[in-house]
Amino acid sequence: TAAALLKSADASLADMNDPSLITARRAITDDIASLSSVAQIDYDGIILKLNQLSNQIDNLRLADNDTDGSPMDSDSSELSSSLSEWRVNLQKSWQNFMDSFITIRRRDDTAVPLLAPNQDVYLRENIRSRLLVAAQAVPRHQEETYRQALDNVSTWVRAYYDTDDAATKAFLEEVDKLSQQNITMDLPETLESQAILEKLMQTRVRNLLAQPTVSTAAPATQTDAPAAAPQGE
């Protein structure tokens, strides 16, 4: 991390024991304090929780969408034996005839949309897909994509699954918690020590290049000429 790199740089400057570096070390200390005050985000933990939710989808129970409401007309449909009530009997006979073709059920605004047979398999896979999108958005810090994917998951689960079931309640509770989680950190745009360290490195490099090159070659030694062989008389 940036804080770890700054600490390493400060340790290297301290080893130089150079008083002229105090300004750079002070800037490094300020930057470390600034980074330490930023709230840390457990990105790996968020991704693991999203993966756990994906594994729990098969445990969710679909909502029962085949429940009948109370009949619209609660009056008895039995015919009377009294001839004086022929009008009522005729009306009931007609109603019984119509009921054999049309069934009226009460439904409110929260009624669960119908799913075709085996369509729940595609629904579960779509939910898994959105959880995967959310997980991929975490390391990329794509806040809008992350929240939109979790909103889709929450909407679909509440629409098609039994929200009174304990497993569904726990699932939605975790989704709601994750949707409130920030995946971007409010880091400082610049570090005070960056420009100082860059200037310091440039100065050090120029000083090294300006130093004269010292020859390390050993001087050649003059070898004695071999003595002339004595000539005989």
Tokens of 231: 């000539």
Identify whether 109 is part of a domain.
no
- Asked if residue 56 belongs to a domain, the reply is yes
Mention every residue, 6+ apart, whose C-beta is less than 8 A from residue 162: 60, 61, 62, 63, 64, 168
203 or 8, higher pLDDT = 8
Instruction: Kindly state whether residue 17 falls inside one of the protein's structural domains.
Output: yes
Q: Percent of the chain beyond pLDDT 70?
A: 67
- Helix ranges (DSSP H) in 143-218: 143-160, 166-179, 192-210
Q: What is the pLDDT of residues 31-73, one digit of tens each?
A: 888 777 777 789 999 999 999 999 999 999 998 755 444 443 4
Name the 3-class secondary structure at 47: helix
More confident residue, 117 or 157: 157
* Residues 165, 50 share a domain: yes
**Domain co-membership, 55 together with 165:** yes
Q: 126 and 22, same structural domain?
A: no
Q: Are the C-beta atoms of residues 120 and 83 closer than 8 Å to each other?
A: no
For residue 155, the enclosing domain spans 41-66+115-194
**So what's the pLDDT on residue 111?**
43
Does some domain include residue 12?
Answer: yes
Task: Write down the pLDDT at residue 198.
Answer: 84
Domain of 130, CATH number, reads: 1.20.1440
Q: Alpha-carbon distance 130 to 182, whole Å?
A: 18
143 and 162 both lie in a single domain: yes
Residue 137 belongs to some domain of the structure: yes
Same domain, 59 and 83: no
The two tokens of residue 74 are 């609660």
The whole-angstrom separation of Cα 33 and Cα 11 is: 16
- Same domain, residue pair 98 and 2: no
**74 and 26 fall within a common domain:** no
| Cα three-residue angle 27-28-29, rounded to 5 degrees | 90
Answer yes or no: is 110 within a domain. no
188 and 80 fall within a common domain:
no
Residue 200 is assigned to a structural domain of this protein: no
131 and 85 within one domain: no
Q: Are residues 154 and 90 in the same domain?
A: no
pLDDT at 54: 96
For residue 171, is it within any domain?
A: yes
Domain count, the chain: 3
148 and 120 in a single domain? The answer is yes
- 166 and 119 in one domain? yes
Mean pLDDT of 192-209: 81
Q: Is the pLDDT of residue 30 over 60?
A: yes
Q: For residue range 152-164, what is the model confidence (pLDDT) as tens digits?
A: 999 999 999 999 9
